Amino acid sequence: MGCVFCDRLAAGDLEAENELAAAFPDAFPLTRGHTLVVPRRHEADYFALTAAEQTAMWRLVNAVRARLERELHPDGYNLGVNVSQAAGQTVDHVHIHLIPRYAGDADDPAAGSAGSFPRRRGIGSRAPRAATEGLDLRPEVSDPREPRLDRSGTRAPLARTPPNPAPRSARAQRDAPHDGRS
């Protein structure tokens, strides 16, 4: 069985290219301008690419982004690389998704490309969603003054807890001004 991306490379319908990589429109775009950047060599695992192949791919991401800026004027971008079927990779040829985003193109843009578009939301996600239902998987924030996002993607209220006072020595406690309450 052939590789659809190798076939696209052979057909030559490319938006951008260099010696080691090429870019072409996604066959099932999530938004206007959704582009895939692939290595010319067939390889399923991003981490098995040479450093030169990875660099060539990211250079094309920047070149395609510059073209998208000039032509489509998106409001933002999602970049995505899925490595293995367990991570949602559906074509066994490395590819970087460059997805232009436009204000109002999704109900929940904070979810990124995987959770923003209903058509793609279910791909490979049933078991992980069920396994993590109800869990707060956000990373811990060490500084309570840093903003956090709630489940809807909006900023959660900042923690307003006072800092813990440093323990005071017996002498500091004795010499501290007394407010008369104790």
**Coil vs helix vs strand at 76:** strand
Judge whether 95 counts as a catalytic residue: yes
- In angstroms, the CA 151 to CA 138 distance is 10
Q: Which two tokens stand for residue 126?
A: 């049933």
- Give the span between the Cα atoms of 150 and 124, in whole angstroms: 24
> Which of 34, 42, 93, 95 is labelled catalytic?
95
Q: Are 168 and 175 in contact (CB under 8 A)?
A: no
Burial track 25-63 (b if 16+ CB lie within 10 A, e otherwise): eeeeebbebbbbbbbbeebeebeebeeebbebbeebbeb
Distances (CA, A) of 43 to 8, 9, 19, 51, 62: 15, 13, 16, 13, 22
Whole-angstrom Cα distance, residue 97 to residue 89? 11
Annotated catalytic residues are 95
